[in-house]
Amino acid sequence: MRLMLLVGKEEQELVEVMMKESRPLNLSEMDGFEGNTGIIVVAAPNRADILDSALLRPGRFNRQVSVDVPDIKRRTDILEVHADFANLLNEAAILAERRAKTAISSKEIDDSIDRIVVGVEGTVMTDSKSKSLVAYDEVGHAMCG
């Protein structure tokens, strides 16, 4: 999942420290699954070649599946099934009007996507449908880059 935007060297160093400190905890939690618990752990690393070998030990990540980035046709097919363009453009038009603009820009579309997927800023997601939508969005980012 996208946790933060790395802007500079200091942030990169902070992330590396956080990753090193959390690695033992993550590994021990993965070892805690016993039998067939119905839990599937999915990871989508950007660089599988630099993964800690402890992660790939038997019983942790036993399978590696490569998923290619969808081509334009497949992306279009996915959007036709899952995207609600009418609602998206309606939200973007409302934002453009509130911002006293005469046309919808990519900024309004991006902000509308966030508003639809995540909700209005300051609201807390409690229902499972909202949480599922955010999870789908994040999986999409992981798969499509």
Half-sphere exposure (Cβ direction) of 93: Cα atoms closer than 13 Å: 6
Distance between CA atoms of residues 89 and 103, nearest Å = 11
Q: To 10 degrees, the CA torsion angle through 128, 59, 45, 41?
A: -10
Instruction: Please say if 138 is a catalytic residue.
Output: yes
Distance between CA atoms of residues 104 and 94, nearest Å = 9
Structure tokens at 134: 């955010």
Distance between CA atoms of residues 45 and 120, nearest Å = 30
Half-sphere exposure (Cβ direction) of 72: Cα atoms closer than 13 Å: 0
Supply the residues annotated as catalytic: 138
